[in-house]
Amino acid sequence: MSSSTTLPESIKQVIIHTGNILSLNGIIGKPSQNASEELVESIKITLNDGNNLENSLEKFVEVMRKNDDLLQKMSGVDRKDLKIGAKLFLNNENADAVNQALLNIFQALKTETIDNLIVSYNDIKTDNEESSSSFVLNKIKSIWNILENYTKENATNRIIHLGVADLDEEQFRDLYAWATVKPNIIQINLASCCVVPPTLQEFCNQNSIQLLTHSDPTEILPVSSIQNLFGDKNALKLFWAIRFQIHIKCRGVLTSKGYIVNLCDNILEE
């Protein structure tokens, strides 16, 4: 496998479906491998197995693994016996990013509903921009407004439970008080918060909120990783990424896991 894939200048957007990475040898269970490294390795294998991009004249390409067993894994189990969870990684509050990511996940999994979706917003500051707690929270509220449209409270019932990652206690309480559809889940990265505040634990207990921990990096796919994948001359940036995990409910077995990633050329500046 080549160390990087050369992209023609014509390509301005790439959507990559890794499929079920549990079926890929060497991806799962590597010592000290974080989610970003796992994603990069999965993309490398997908690019090697998927479309030949080097001679493409298209502006938009979609890359999928040819030998993916995702739908096969799902077809043997009744949908009601599956629990589908997803985590949406964003560094912007663009409504197209949210809607595209959800459309792709529903289509890829051939499902009408997701049991839970957690949104992870990574604030990308420019040289002239200062970020604050309220600034970040307002970005998340914009994203939350869009996600609420997919819940049963808005009659679509496509997402059963909504959650959020990496808010501090004050931000989370503010979001909870403001939101029409209350978050059912909060994810905390123990790398940045060694001990969960007792007051947050109490608040979650009182409001039936799942308090979970995670070890995902702040940036799921940094620019340096994209350059390693496609060369340092490409202008692609992460528009959105979504990770899915599918469990068999009765046994608690993880049967499938994968990523869908949208990389765009300068779309965030438009």
Residue 5 in any domain: the answer is no
Residue 6 in any domain: the answer is no
Report which of residues 270 and 248 the model is more confident about.
Answer: 248
Give yes or no for residue 34 having a pLDDT over 80. Answer: yes
Residue 134 in any domain: the answer is yes
Q: What would the mean pLDDT of 3-9 be, rounded to a whole number?
A: 72
Q: What would the mean pLDDT of 121-131 be, rounded to a whole number?
A: 63
Mean pLDDT of the chain: 87
Which neighbouring-strand residues pair with 262? 15, 240
Give yes or no for residue 258 having a pLDDT over 90. Answer: yes
In 10 A of CB 53, how many CB atoms?
17
Q: What would the mean pLDDT of 20-33 be, rounded to a whole number?
A: 75
Give yes or no for residue 207 having a pLDDT over 60. Answer: yes
Which neighbouring-strand residues pair with 92? none
Residue 4 in any domain: the answer is no
Its pTM stands at 0.92
Q: In the chain, pLDDT over 70 holds for what percent of residues? A: 89
DSSP-derived letter for residue 130 is -
Q: How far apart are CA 48 and CA 129, in angstroms?
A: 39
Report which of residues 59 and 32 the model is more confident about.
Answer: 59
DSSP-derived letter for residue 129 is -
Tens digit of each residue's pLDDT (9 = 90 or more) over 93-106: 999 999 999 999 99
Residue 39 in any domain: the answer is yes
| CATH number, domain containing residue 132 | 3.20.20
| The residue type at 7 | L
Number of domains present in the structure of the chain:
1
Give yes or no for residue 68 having a pLDDT over 80. Answer: yes
Q: How far apart are CA 111 and CA 122, in angstroms?
A: 28
| The residue type at 250 | C
**Dihedral sign of CA atoms 93, 111, 12, 48 in order:** positive
The β-bridge relationship of strands 185-189 and 210-214 is: parallel
Give yes or no for residue 156 having a pLDDT over 70. Answer: yes
Residue 239 in any domain: the answer is yes
**Dihedral sign of CA atoms 23, 24, 27, 29 in order:** positive
| The residue type at 10 | S
- Looking at residue 132, what is its pLDDT? 73
Which tokens in the block code for residue 100? 């595209």
DSSP-derived letter for residue 93 is -
Residue 7 in any domain: the answer is no
Please list, in sequence order, all residues whose beta carbon lies within 8 angstroms of the beta carbon of residue 117, skipping any fewer than 6 positions away.
Answer: 85, 86, 87, 88, 102, 147, 150, 159, 161, 162, 163
Tens digit of each residue's pLDDT (9 = 90 or more) over 77-86: 899 999 999 9
Give yes or no for residue 131 having a pLDDT over 70. Answer: no
Exposure string (b/e) for 75-92, b if CB count within 10 Å is 16 or more? eeeeeeebbbbbbbbbbb
What is the three-class DSSP state of 96? helix
Domain that holds residue 178: 13-269
C-beta of residue 229 within 8 angstroms of C-beta of residue 4:
yes
Q: How far apart are CA 101 and CA 87, in angstroms?
A: 10
Q: How far apart are CA 146 and CA 79, in angstroms?
A: 26
**Model confidence band, residue 178 (pLDDT cutoffs 50, 70, 90):** very high
In 10 A of CB 207, how many CB atoms?
12
Among 187, 185, 137, residue whose Cα is nearest residue 161: 185
Residue 1 in any domain: the answer is no
Which neighbouring-strand residues pair with 246? 84, 256
